[in-house]
Every structure is written in C-alpha cells, then in structure tokens.
Structure 1
Amino acid sequence: MRIGLLTDGGYPYATGESRLWCDRLVRGLSQHEFDLFALSRSAEQEAQGWVQLPAQVSRVRTASLWTADEDILGTHASKGLLARMVTGGGGRSYGRRERRRFTAYFTALATSVCTTGATGGEDDAAGASGGAGSGERSEDGRTGRRAAGAADAQFTDGLYGLAELAREHGGLPAALRSETAVRVLEAACRAPGTGRTVQTATVPDFLALARELDRVLRPLSLDWYDEESLGAVDLCHATSGGAAALPGLLAKRFFGVPLLVTEHGVQLRAHYLAAIDTSLSAPVRALLANFYGRLATEVYRQAAIVTPGNTHARRWQERCGAEREKLRTVHPGMESGRFTALGESGDSGPDDTLVWVGRIEPAKDLIALLHAFAEVRKSEPDARLRIIGAPAQGPEGATYLAHCRVLAAQLFPDEATDAHAVGDNPVSFEDIGGAEVPDLSEAYAAGGVVVLSSVVEGFPISLVEAMFCGRATVSTDVGAVVEVIGGTGLVVPPRNPRALADACLALLRDPERRARLGAAARARALELFTVEQNVAAFRGIYLELISHAPVRREADTVNADGEPRPFATPPEAHVQGPWTASGPAPAGAADRTARWAAEPRTVCAGARGAGGDDV
C-alpha cells in the first residue's frame, strides 16, 4: 500500500529521536511504498540535510514553518512549498467574495479559540463529582460541555473553511497577517464569555497572535492537496499531533484518506511546557493554549486510530477527548543490538560508581543529583559519580553545565572536578567519544547503578538503553518512567535528593540485587521496546486500517508504469450489495471510514504493555 508519512521537525532531517524512529519504521516495512511530507522547524535543521532514504520512499515533499512570507516565494518555491500565495500565484489578491469568506471562517475560528475551557475537561470533572452541591455542579458541567461542543463546532467550521479557501484561491499567510485578521481577533477577545486574561489583550498581542496562527496554520496553504499528492495515498500516518496532523486532516476531508496519529510525546503538553520560557504575553499564551487544545480534540476525533507511545501520553490524549476505543499503546522501538555484549555479560558493574547518561539541561535536574551524591559520599566515601553527555543546544545548555560544574566544586571543595582527570575525581563530566567513554555502551558500563534524576520526562530513552545493558536503575517518578521500569528498578519522588541518595546506596551495597534487577530489566526491554515489536505492531495496524477503509479513486487505479496499483480498486468494489454485514453500500471513502470506526477491532499480535495496554 502507499503510505503518506507526515512529519514535523524530524524525518528526513538528520537530527532527533523522532527521525530515528521514522527511519526504523520505514526500513522495517519495506513491502509498502512511502510518500514523505515533511515540515521543517528551522534553517539550521534544513542546513544539516537529510539522512539517506531507503528505496521504499518514493517521493519527498518539504515545507518550512519558520520562513517569512517573502522567503517562501523566493527561496523554497522549487520545493513545492506553496501553490499560490494570497498576493502571489496568479498575481492577484483576494476578491471581495473571498475576503468575506475569509472573515466569516476566521471569525468562527477566533471565537472558538477565545472561548474559555478549550477541551471541556474541567467541566467534565465538575459534572462527574459528587457530594454536596453535586446537582448544581452536574448542571454546570452539562452547560460547560454544551458550550465546549458549540465552540468545537465553530473551530472545525473555521478551520476547514479556511483550508477550502486556501485550496481554491491560493494560500492564507497575507490574509492572516492583515488588518482584517487583527480586527477579528480583537472583536473575539472583547466578546462576552471570554476569560479575564484574554480580555486584557492589546493590539501588540493581537499582532503576535496573528503571527503565531499564521505559522501553525501554514500547512493549510501547501500544494499537497490534489490527486497526485495526498489524494494518491491509501493511508496518512502523522508521526505527531499539532501541525504535522493538519495535512492528514485535510487529506481525510478532501479525499477520505484514513488518518493514523502517533504521539510519543503529546504536542499539547509540549506546547504547555514550551510556553513557560516564551516571551509571549499571558493573553497570547492563553489563546494559543486554547487553539492547540481544540486542534488536538479535532485530530483525535478524526483519526481512525491513535497510537500513544506510553500510558502517560495516553492519559493526556483521553483528557483532550480521544475515545478509548481508538487508542492503542505502541511503545517506540529502539535498537538493542549495540548493547547485546554488555547486556549478556552478566556483569553488574563497579560497586562504587553511579553513572548518569543523557543531554545536560535543566529538566534533567542534575542539581538534585549532585546534592544526592553528596549524601551518598557521607556513607560511602569512595563512591564516584560520572555524568556523561553533552549540553543541550543553545546558550541555556552551556550555562546549565557551567552551573553544575560550579556546584560540584562547592560540594566537594577538597577534590578537583576536572573532566580530564577522571580517575581521581568523585564527580566527573565527560563526553561520549573520548578515550574514557568511546561509545554509548561504554557509558552504561562505567557504573554499577544508572541514575535518572529528571523533573520532566516523556519516554525515558536513556532508561531503556540502561535496561538493554542489564543495568540496575534508580529513577524519579516522572513521565512514563514507572511504565518503562515495571518493577525492575527503584523509583523515588522527583526533587528529593535524600530519597535519591538512599536508593542509590541500597543498590551500591548489594551487588546480587543489582544483578537480579539488571537481568529482569533487560528481559523487559527486549520484550517491549525493540524495533521488531514496534514494526510488527504498525504492520498490523496498517493492514487493519486499509482493510476497513479501502480508498477507491478511479484516477489512481494504475501507477506510473501503467500497472494496477495495490488497493486502488479493492476487491469489495466488485461485490454487489453492501461491503459489510450491515448497512447500505457506502457512497465513498468518507462513508466507509465512518462505518468502520464504530465496529469492534482486533489487536495485532504483540506484547502487552503496562496496565494491560496492547502494543
């Protein structure tokens, strides 16, 4: 079958864990043909180039979410970035009728975004609570859900109306930056029923919001929505929510192509975390949070199947309205081969050494780790801590590393912390690739206990790598850590150096326990977190989706060589009468998609995740 793979800031560009996951998936499903539709996030990302693509990637279309309007036309037109701009394309601006349509659609979208309670989650909770006053709260909850439902309908009307306008008349960026758009945003923010924070927005806030909406809605203006592009695929697979899923929504809207959404980290949560460090004002942050919340709700509503990478992401998706019967937990697959020698050696590691491996940044909370190690040294004076990794890109990572070095020098004033004299220091900061740590497996071999001290974590990749290596671990209870560990390591509360120190001491003093936990951790990782189990799960999901929702397009029955295209004309098309056991024969792909969504579905063969989730 032909898969439209939708990415945002990952594959085929040369950086990022999402790029690695996509590459493993595409190479593992060599029997399918992939069309890649990729959004890039920065000039630096594009400058690093693409990874070498396998033969089953037949076509790549790229678009930038970071360029200015004039750059789009001048620099990236050869990549098929935009079909036509509002002031470009056919060399004309919107006419009066198109301007009226834009105003109507954008007003609907802006009104929904300015409505408080983006996902209705608080209202649901209030309506479900009992006790004194529960009747009033239930009524308030029903009222809130009705309001949220009406706002969601406004959002979809506005979103798809803008998409149809962009497709018919050439792009949205100039219109989204226009005075009309700013006036619409101002009127929506001043309307009754908006939140107190939103009502304080000023003209600079409206301009900033228009700029941000232009960026996130830029996929609506691409030239991907025709019978030769997304209309030619059998299935769209969005590898994240947010902007990457927008082309999938439109492919389903315009051509009835079923949509599969995979989120290893929920985009809405990522937006909330990123908003903390942004320079945007409080009203703009609140409005963007509402926008992303409503977009997430629509993505989950339209997706045929949603595959969270862990139950932590799954809970977020359910909170945003994802139906449980659509959710299939599929853990991300990771390469285990390079850790085989260490994992099968049975060596539990040095009895006196803790090791931390990862990207050095504030979310990893190395400050708490250093304070915990100071407590460890009081009981075990010969203990050592090896911090192995590079700082995160940008000035923040370098600043945080410098701060950690200064703190280590203060906590251990009588001993140097020079990274180049590893043997004599209680704390060392090292990079992978040097003489002491030539590769990643050697990093995990350097310690008897692997420590994760994060305060924010999605799917803990370094923890899974330590499990492949057969290492005992001590981790903080954040993100998907408990789900990944599953009883094969020690877990303590975050931001608690005393608890972290006690757990580390317990394992350092007990080599037999470390060996037992390490063996159990390796067995669990090989069962749940390998590339093979991930590819097998998606192979089954792809076949299930296409068997329930075959896309039939007369214009796409043959390929470029004149040969019949698989699944272009499904076998059911030659059978008279209904295609399923009940109901009239479907009129088109959209009808078939709606029908199969209500039917019971089987789970592909594979392992079982934590909490009984199917993978």
Structure 2
Amino acid sequence: MRIGLLTEGGYPYVSGDARLWCDRLVRGLGQHEFDVYALSRSERQEAQGWIELPPQVNRVRTAPLWTVDDDDGVAFGAGYGRRARRRFVECFGELAAVVCDSGAGSAVGASGSRDALADRFGSALYGLAELAGDQGGLVGALRSEAAVRALEGACRAPGALRAARTARVPDLLAVAGLLERALRPLSLDWYGDDDLGAVDLCHATSGGPAAIPGLLAKHFSGVPLLVTEYGIQLRAHYLATGDEALSAPARALLTSFHGRLAAEVYRQATIVTPGNTHARRWQERCGAERAKLRTVYPGMEASRFAEVGDREDPGDPDTLLWVGRIEPAKDLISLLHAFAEVRKEEPKALLRIVGAPAEGPEAAAYLAHCKALAAQLFPDEAQGAHAVGDNPVSFEEIGAPEVPDLEDAYAAGSVVVLSSVVEGFPISLVEAMFCGRATVSTDVGAVVEVIGGTGLVVPPRNPRALAEACVALLRDAGRRERLGAAARARALELFTVEQNIEAFRGIYLEIVSHCPVRREAVDDAGEPVPFGNPAEAYVPGRWAVAAGGGDAGSGPGGAPSWAQEADGPERLPERLKGAGV
C-alpha cells in the first residue's frame, strides 16, 4: 500500500510536532510505502534538517508556510487573463462570504442551513484549487487588492459577523496575509498523477493546512483521507490567536475561517482518529460525524521506563516530583502554594521540579517567577539529610548531572504531580504510569481518561485540594504501591507504540478495502489498456506494481519556486520497472 503522509511543522524535520509519533508509525509499518508531504513552520526548522528516514520512505516533498518573497508565485494581474481574474474574484468572494456569515457556526444561518454553508465553502475552496492549477499558484492573488476588497465586501454584507463589520483596511490586510499562508497548499504541484494522485491513502497527521493536500487529492483523484489529531488544530489556533497582535475583527474572521476549514476536513475524511475523548468532543462540536471517529491513543516507548518500573525501590518516599515543560499553562504557581500546605503536614517533604530547558523569553521569565516564589515561600530552610541546596524545592533540567535522563527523574520520587490548567494528552502522566508511580493530577484535558482509577484527581487551580491529595499519598506507602502497579498495567495495555501501530495497520486496510482508488491503466497515448492492472497489484507488498503506471486522476501543476522535492529509494530494480511484475 502506498501512503501519502501529510504533516505540518513536524516529520521529517529534526524538531517539530508529532515527529516521534510519525517516525514510529512509518518504521512500524514496514510493509507499506510512504511518500511524505511536509509543510514547515519556520526557517530555523528547515535549517535544522531531517531525521534519518527508513527505507520505506520513497519520497519527501516540502514547502514552507512561514514566509515567501513578495515576488514569489504569480502576481495577480500580471499573469492572469480577464477570465482568470473573474474566476478568482468569484471563488474567493464566495469563500469570504461564508467565512463572514454570522450563521456559519449555527444550525441555520443568515444565508441558509449549515450544510448549505459547508457546500459553499467546499465549492469555493476547490474552485480556488483548480484555478491555482491553471495559473501555477495563487500566492499573489490571495494577497492582492482584489482579495482585500472581497473580504471588505463580505464584512459589510447583511448578515455578516458583528465583530467583522468594524474591520478596517489594516485588519483586512493582516487577514488576507494569514489566509494566504493557511491556503498555500492550494498553490503546490503535489496533486498530479505521479504525486498524491498516485497514492492509495492520504494520512493527515493534523487538521488545518496539513489536511488541505488530502482534501485536494480526494477532490482531483478520489484518494481517501484519514485524519489523525492528537492536538486539535482548531483549539491550537484559538489559543495562538489570543497571543498575536490582532484586532478583534481580524481574530473573528480567522477563527471563522479555521472553523469552516476544520468542518470541511471532517466532512471529507473517511475516518478521523482523535487521540482521546477530549479531542473527540472537540471534533464532534466542529461537525465530525460520530460514525467516522475512532479513538487511537498515542503510542509511547514503554521499554525506556521498564527498568524503573521493575525496581523494588519505589523512590524517595518523601519526594513529590513534577516533570514537564515549564510554562504558564502548567500552573506551577498553584503547585508551589500547594506544597507550602504539604510542608505544614509533612515537614520532611521535598518537591523536585524537573523540566526541559526554557525556550524563549516568556518561558524564561515564568521560570524566574516560579523560582522567586519558591524562595519567598521557603526562605533558607535547612532540611538536614533531605536538603536540596537550602530550599526544599529544587528546579532541575533534564540532561543536567543530577538528572541525566528522563527515566532518572521518575526514579527519584514516589509521587508524581501534574498541576496544569490546560492539557491535551498528558504525556508526563503516562511516563509516570510506565514507571509504576502513584500520581496526583488536576482534572483537565484527557487526564481522567488516561488515569482511569489509578491515581488521585483534583480540581484545577485549587492548591488546598492538591495538597490534601499529596499528603494522603505521602502518608500511605501501601496505597502508593497499589496505585502505581495498577497505573503501570493500564499504561502497558493502552499507551504503547505497539498498540498504536496495530490500530493504524487495521484502519489502513479497512479504508483501502472500502474506498479503493479506481485507476485505469493507460498506454503512452493515453488509451486504456485492457487488464492492465493484474490482480496481484492490489495485494499489499513492495513488489506489486500495476502495469502501465497510468492514473486516471489529474490535478494542478506548475511548482512555485519555494516548493522542494527529494526522492528516496527506488521502488523497484531498474530491470523490473514497467514490467508489471
């Protein structure tokens, strides 16, 4: 089976989202072939390069989402005829009208039903894709004055979003630029017969821009689409928009666009695989049909923590441990205040905060604030043999001499604490479960689903409840042992790499068996070749190749200068090419 793996800001780059998960999936499904289509998020990410790819990756094609020069692509008006300009104004104007419609998120809007709005959005999106194929890209058009005018007209139309009605020209220019970045996959030459048009299945590793190539492969060539979301792209957009210097009208327009795009992705996907029930609820609220949803938990390397989990030593019975990325969403402030209450009940208790090195000024400032608060709450307390410096709270980095590896961090404490106010899938909790540690967590994201009945869960932003749960476990070694053993058994059953790979192995076969791509073998003149596809061509295996190699689908062409390609290992020896084995 030939899989088109669609990524944004991750695999195959050295840094980025879902890199490890994608690499484990590709390596675990060695009987399939993978073509990787990757969108990068920054110049730094591209400069860091790729990870080492396994032999089943045949091809990697990349394109940036972060920036292009103003002269890249085709400037609107310079290479467009009158008919093309009119088509663009019609399609983009329709897209803008749906985005601005005040009923886009409700059952019945000002311009008709929710389904009618979805149909209009999809029709406009695919119309722009077809135009991009004819013109070699839409980078210039989507940033043009015509696009800004179309947005302005949609904002001023009856029934438009209230927040969008006050949008000014600077707001519209900002929105047009961000829409062009999100829609940049429309301008790529990835949809021909020898690219995504030739795969058996597109697997988008997130929603949003990463899934757009899958939408177009289905539109042009009938390729089925599988969408996996371990972090909801729409939720991430909501959080990121609040941090950007955008006006309220601009935020409203972008939020509406990303909501419409998410709904279209879920509508066209054959199967959607959320990583947990929390993500599943988001998808259902955004229009995903319940029958399409299959929860597949992320797979993690259990063997890495096997030694810690097998030890009879449960770690220091007086030590609470926090592990993660230090940022405001983790609410270490509440944790520190909770630990102050713990110290009143258990004077020997210690708190070790172990995190990755702070990245960026915001993370560094938050870490400094937490250290200052710890110094204020525990001024120069000496704890004898239990002292960590002069303070019962220590801040340590993974990779430092005290904590050379992540598993060493979990081996140091008997109770692992999670204090987050925002959380998706709590990776640190699963790691603690693999290590057989008892846990105290806040009830956010997928925490309850992950923990089951193997740990204590308290409300977020409640230091007193967090402290009481920690004290209860510190005082009861037997309970810690029972909870830790149950947690490890649950993690080994649900959250391993092996279960993740087996789940996708079955889903791939199910999709291809129910939604096969019907391709007609043709000769050099484009004429059909009777019996050109032998039966064995449909049997999974790297040796199976359809005779003729022709595909019925067709799509846009004309690669912009900023699209890149790299070919991997050849699928067949030279002597067997075109032989129809």
One fold, TM greater than 0.5?
A: yes
Superposed displacement of residue 413, structure 1: 1.6
Alpha-carbon spacing, 1:427–1:145, altered in 2? closer, same or farther (3 Å): farther
| Residues 75 and 141, structure 2, Cα contact 8 Å, conserved in 1 | no
- How many Å separate the matches in 2 of 1:557 and 1:284? 51
- How many Å separate the matches in 2 of 1:201 and 1:97? 29
13-22 vs 549-558, which moves further: 549-558
The DSSP-based 3-state class of the residue aligned with 2:131 is helix
Name the residue aligned to 1:64.
64
| Residues 197 and 553, structure 2, Cα contact 8 Å, conserved in 1 | no
- How many Å separate the matches in 2 of 1:451 and 1:145? 50
Superposed displacement of residue 434, structure 1: 1.9
> 1:157-172 to 2 correspondence within 5 Å?
157-172=123-138
> 1:180-191 to 2 correspondence within 5 Å?
180-191=146-157
- How many Å separate the matches in 2 of 1:237 and 1:379? 52
Superposed displacement of residue 143, structure 1: 6.2
Aligned: 1:105 with 2:104: no
Alpha-carbon spacing, 1:196–1:338, altered in 2? closer, same or farther (3 Å): same
- How many Å separate the matches in 1 of 2:370 and 2:355? 13
Superposed displacement of residue 118, structure 1: 3.2
| Residues 556 and 565, structure 1, Cα contact 8 Å, conserved in 2 | no
Q: Summarize deviations over 1:495-527 as a string: whole Å, max 9, x none.
A: 000000000000011111000000000000000
- How many Å separate the matches in 2 of 1:144 and 1:540? 43
**Alignment-mate amino acid for residue 388 of structure 2:** V
| Residues 521 and 533, structure 2, Cα contact 8 Å, conserved in 1 | no
Alpha-carbon spacing, 1:391–1:363, altered in 2? closer, same or farther (3 Å): farther
Which structure 1 residue ranges, 5 or more long, are not aligned? 74-84, 124-141, 559-563, 572-587, 591-615
| Residues 357 and 398, structure 2, Cα contact 8 Å, conserved in 1 | no
The DSSP-based 3-state class of the residue aligned with 1:554 is coil
Alpha-carbon spacing, 1:169–1:460, altered in 2? closer, same or farther (3 Å): same
- How many Å separate the matches in 2 of 1:405 and 1:171? 51
Name the residue aligned to 1:86.
74
Name the residue aligned to 1:431.
397
| Residues 257 and 589, structure 1, Cα contact 8 Å, conserved in 2 | no
Name the residue aligned to 2:321.
355
Aligned length: 532
Aligned match for 1:115, one of 85, 101, 107: 101
Name the residue aligned to 2:305.
339
- Structure with the larger RCO, 1 or 2 (CA within 8 Å, 6+ apart): 2
Alpha-carbon spacing, 1:327–1:445, altered in 2? closer, same or farther (3 Å): same
- How many Å separate the matches in 2 of 1:52 and 1:104? 45
Aligned: 1:515 with 2:481: yes
Name the residue aligned to 1:149.
115
The DSSP-based 3-state class of the residue aligned with 1:395 is helix
- How many Å separate the matches in 1 of 2:111 and 2:475? 55
TM-score normalized with structure 1 length: 0.83
Aligned match for 1:544, one of 510, 516, 540: 510
The DSSP-based 3-state class of the residue aligned with 2:325 is coil
Superposed displacement of residue 193, structure 1: 0.6
- How many Å separate the matches in 2 of 1:543 and 1:246? 23
Name the residue aligned to 2:50.
50
Aligned match for 2:292, one of 318, 326, 330: 326
Superposed displacement of residue 148, structure 1: 2.5
Alpha-carbon spacing, 1:423–1:519, altered in 2? closer, same or farther (3 Å): farther
Q: Summarize deviations over 1:215-257 as a string: whole Å, max 9, x none.
A: 0000000010100110110100000000000000000000000
Superposed displacement of residue 69, structure 1: 3.1
Alpha-carbon spacing, 1:538–1:565, altered in 2? closer, same or farther (3 Å): farther
Alpha-carbon spacing, 1:503–1:107, altered in 2? closer, same or farther (3 Å): same
- How many Å separate the matches in 2 of 1:504 and 1:100? 66
Name the residue aligned to 2:14.
14
| Residues 176 and 210, structure 1, Cα contact 8 Å, conserved in 2 | yes
Superposed displacement of residue 345, structure 1: 1.7
The DSSP-based 3-state class of the residue aligned with 1:280 is coil
Aligned: 1:531 with 2:497: yes
Superposed displacement of residue 195, structure 1: 2.2
Superposed displacement of residue 432, structure 1: 1.2
Which structure 2 residue ranges, 5 or more long, are not aligned? 525-531, 540-551, 555-581
Aligned match for 2:520, one of 551, 554, 573: 554
| Residues 348 and 511, structure 1, Cα contact 8 Å, conserved in 2 | no
- How many Å separate the matches in 2 of 1:565 and 1:273? 49
The DSSP-based 3-state class of the residue aligned with 2:352 is strand
Superposed displacement of residue 289, structure 1: 0.6
Name the residue aligned to 2:346.
380
The DSSP-based 3-state class of the residue aligned with 2:227 is strand
The DSSP-based 3-state class of the residue aligned with 1:408 is helix
| Residues 13 and 45, structure 2, Cα contact 8 Å, conserved in 1 | yes
Name the residue aligned to 2:35.
35
Name the residue aligned to 2:5.
5
- How many Å separate the matches in 2 of 1:506 and 1:27? 43
The DSSP-based 3-state class of the residue aligned with 1:276 is helix
Alpha-carbon spacing, 1:565–1:450, altered in 2? closer, same or farther (3 Å): farther
**Alignment-mate amino acid for residue 277 of structure 1:** D
**Alignment-mate amino acid for residue 409 of structure 2:** A
Name the residue aligned to 1:450.
416
515-524 vs 349-358, which moves further: 349-358
Aligned match for 1:270, one of 236, 239, 245: 236
Name the residue aligned to 1:605.
none
TM-score normalized with structure 2 length: 0.88
Superposed displacement of residue 438, structure 1: 1.4
| Residues 12 and 53, structure 1, Cα contact 8 Å, conserved in 2 | yes
| Residues 87 and 93, structure 1, Cα contact 8 Å, conserved in 2 | yes
- How many Å separate the matches in 2 of 1:294 and 1:568? 41
Q: Summarize deviations over 1:525-555 as a string: whole Å, max 9, x none.
A: 0000000000000000001111112213235
Name the residue aligned to 2:563.
none
The DSSP-based 3-state class of the residue aligned with 1:225 is coil
| Residues 114 and 188, structure 1, Cα contact 8 Å, conserved in 2 | yes
The DSSP-based 3-state class of the residue aligned with 1:113 is helix
Q: Summarize deviations over 1:314-338 as a string: whole Å, max 9, x none.
A: 0000001111110000001000101
Superposed displacement of residue 435, structure 1: 2.0
The DSSP-based 3-state class of the residue aligned with 2:510 is helix
Aligned: 1:193 with 2:159: yes
| Residues 302 and 434, structure 2, Cα contact 8 Å, conserved in 1 | yes
| Residues 5 and 205, structure 2, Cα contact 8 Å, conserved in 1 | yes
Superposed displacement of residue 476, structure 1: 0.5
Alpha-carbon spacing, 1:343–1:210, altered in 2? closer, same or farther (3 Å): same
| Residues 388 and 443, structure 1, Cα contact 8 Å, conserved in 2 | yes
The DSSP-based 3-state class of the residue aligned with 1:6 is strand
The DSSP-based 3-state class of the residue aligned with 1:428 is strand
| Residues 415 and 425, structure 1, Cα contact 8 Å, conserved in 2 | yes
Name the residue aligned to 2:177.
211
Name the residue aligned to 1:255.
221
The DSSP-based 3-state class of the residue aligned with 1:69 is coil
Alpha-carbon spacing, 1:567–1:4, altered in 2? closer, same or farther (3 Å): farther
